[in-house]
Amino acid sequence: MCALARRHVQDEREIHPTDHIQNDLGLDSLAVMEFVSDVETHFGVNIPSEMFERIATVEDVARALTSLAPGPAEART
């Protein structure tokens, strides 16, 4: 997740899961949408817009992915 965020962060700072996407990483609203699009493409999921209000940190994106990922039974179908 941090590697995907790296593509959108201008400075060379280390990215941590607890970093706030806008406040710490400096992504504006367009960059946040591009980051989310990269995550969706990379992991093959769709993050519903209603989840966006609960996503503030890099770790929140990972949690959203976990909640959207199919379980073992769903992955086999």
With contact defined as beta carbons under 8 Å apart, do 4 and 42 qualify?
yes
- For 23-77, write each residue's pLDDT tens digit: 999 999 899 889 999 999 999 999 998 988 889 999 999 999 888 876 554 444 4
| Predicted confidence (pLDDT) per residue in 3-13, tens digit | 888 888 988 88
So what's the pLDDT on residue 21? 94
Helix, strand, coil shares, percent, the chain, to 5: 55, 5, 45
Those residues with Cβ within 8 angstroms of residue 41's Cβ, 6 or more apart along the chain or in another chain: none
Cα distance between residue 36 and residue 52, in whole Å = 9
Query: What are the structural domain ranges in the chain?
Result: 1-9+24-63
Q: In the prediction, which pLDDT does 75 show?
A: 46
The pTM for the full model equals: 0.77
